[in-house]
Homo-oligomer: A and B are copies of this chain.
Amino acid sequence: MDENYENLHLENQLCFPLYAVSRLTTKMYGPYLEELDITYPQYLVLLVLWQYKEQSVSNIGQKLLLESNTLTPLLKRLEQKKLILRKRSVKDERTVLISLTKEGENLKQKAVCIPEKIIQSFKTDTISLSEAIEFQKTLIKLMEGLKEKL
């Protein structure tokens, strides 16, 4: 009897295209981020700091769904690049407060054009604006849902 393993077929997975598109999208940022001499996860951390100013490591982690085991080394690299400052809170010596240096703040000027460029690159694809909006909505719902149970 011919057993049916269709649910294990690559084209029936939801997870695989998710994984692939995430990696491909990150790669699209490559050339732009290279100009700023930062990586994609570093860019995400800077997005948080540009938007919210001084934040603790765990606050950044809450927003990006990352923990100190990932963030600490990443933040140290941003510190080496002189884009951020790391200092212990005086109120609570356990927490480390991350703030932008002038240089890190200024980098925002150079970054501001990136989202537009990424959108342009996506546009050539066979995906409409309304489809993209639906897509983002679903993504965010998924993110919220998954966040709960992990």
In chain B, what residue has the closest Cβ to A146? B24
Q: How far is the CA of A106 from the CA of B143 in the complex (A)?
A: 34
Asked if residues A126 and B145 are in contact (CB atoms below 8 Å), the reply is yes
Q: Which residues of B contact A20 (CB under 8 A)?
A: 64-65, 143
Q: A16-B44, A17-B143, A143-B21 are in contact. Are A63 and B28 (CB under 8 A)?
A: no
Q: B-contacting residues of A (Cβ < 8 Å)?
A: 5, 7-10, 12-29, 40, 44, 47-48, 50-51, 63-65, 108, 111-112, 115-116, 118, 121-122, 124-127, 131-132, 134-136, 138-143, 145-147, 149-150
> Is the beta-carbon distance between B25 and A18 smaller than 8 angstroms?
yes
The reply to whether A15 and B118 contact each other, CB–CB distance below 8 Å, is: yes
Residues of B contacting A13 with CB < 8 Å?
47, 115
- Asked whether, in the complex, the Cβ of B16 is within 8 Å of the Cβ of A51, the reply is no
Contacts of A14 in B (CB 8 A): 25, 118, 122, 132, 135-136, 139
Contacts of A28 in B (CB 8 A): 146, 149-150
Having A20-B143, A28-B146, one finds 19 other A-B pairs with CB under 8 Å, namely A7-B115, A7-B116, A8-B50, A12-B115, A13-B115, A15-B118, A17-B136, A17-B139, A17-B143, A18-B25, A19-B22, A21-B22, A21-B139, A21-B142, A24-B146, A24-B150, A127-B138, A135-B138, A135-B139
**How many Å from the CB of A77 to the closest CB on chain B?**
18
- Complex Cα distance, B17 from A65, in Å, reads 10
